Chains A and B, each alone.
Chain A
Amino acid sequence: MRLSSFEYSIRDALRSMKRNKVMCLASMATVAISLLILGCAWLLVLNSQHLATVMESELEINAYLRSEVERDEALNLRRKFENLGGVEEVTFVSKEEGLERLQQRLGDDTSIIEALGGHNPLPDMYRLKAKVAEDVPRLAGEVEKIQEVEKVRYGQGLVEKLLALTNWMRTVGIVIVIVIGMAAIFLIATSIRLTVFARRREIGIMKLVGATDWYIRWPFFLEGMIVGLVGAILAILFLHLFYANLVRNVILTLNFLPVLKELNVILHVYKWLLILGVFLGAAGSAISLRRFLKV
Chain B
Amino acid sequence: MKGERLCFKLSEIWGVNMIQLFNVSKTYQGEVTVKALQDISLHITRGEFVFLVGPSGAGKSTLTRLLIREELPTDGQILVNGKSVSRLREREIPYYRRKIGFVFQDFRLLMERTVYENVAFAMEAIERPKQEVREQVPAILESVGLADKLGNYPHQLSGGEQQRVCIARAIINNPLIVIADEPTGNLDPDTSWEIMNIFQAINKRGTTLIVATHDRDIVNRMQKRVIALDAGQLIRDEERGGY
Contact = CB atoms under 8 A, between A and B. Distances in A.
Interface of A: 1-2, 4-5, 7-8, 201-202, 204-213, 215
A238 B11 CA distance: 69
Contact of B98 (A7, A204, A209): A209
Interface string B78-101: 000000000000010011111000
Interface of B: 68, 91, 94-98, 102, 108, 110, 121-122, 124-130, 169, 173
B110 A209 contact: no
A204 B109 CA distance: 11
Main secondary structure of the interface of A (DSSP, over half): helix
A208 B110 contact: no
B124 to A, nearest CB: 5
Given A202-B110, A205-B108, A205-B110, A211 B129 contact: no
Given A7-B130, A215-B125, A210 B102 contact: no
Contact of A210 (B110, B121, B125): B125
B125 A206 contact: yes
A211 B94 contact: yes
A110 to B, nearest CB: 83
Contacts, number: 58
B35 to A, nearest CB: 26
Contact of B97 (A204, A210, A213, A215): A210
Residue of A8, A207, A208 ringed by the most chain B CB atoms within 10 A? A208
A1 B128 CA distance: 11
B127 A215 contact: yes
A291 to B, nearest CB: 19
Contacts of B124: 4-5, 8
12 contacts: A4-B124, A4-B127, A205-B125, A207-B94, A208-B97, A210-B96, A210-B97, A210-B126, A211-B125, A211-B127, A212-B95, A212-B127
Nearest to B108: A205
B108 A213 contact: no
A70 B95 CA distance: 99
A213 B91 CA distance: 8
A212 B125 CA distance: 8
A127 B91 CA distance: 77
A93 B122 CA distance: 88
A97 to B, nearest CB: 83
A15 B125 CA distance: 16
Given A8-B124, A202-B110, A202-B121, A209 B129 contact: no
A204 B68 CA distance: 13
A215 B94 CA distance: 11
B127 A5 contact: yes
Contacts of A208: 68, 97, 102
Contacts of A207: 94, 97
A8 to B, nearest CB: 5
B166 to A, nearest CB: 10
B126 A211 contact: yes
Contacts of A210: 94-98, 125-126, 173
Contacts of A5: 124, 127
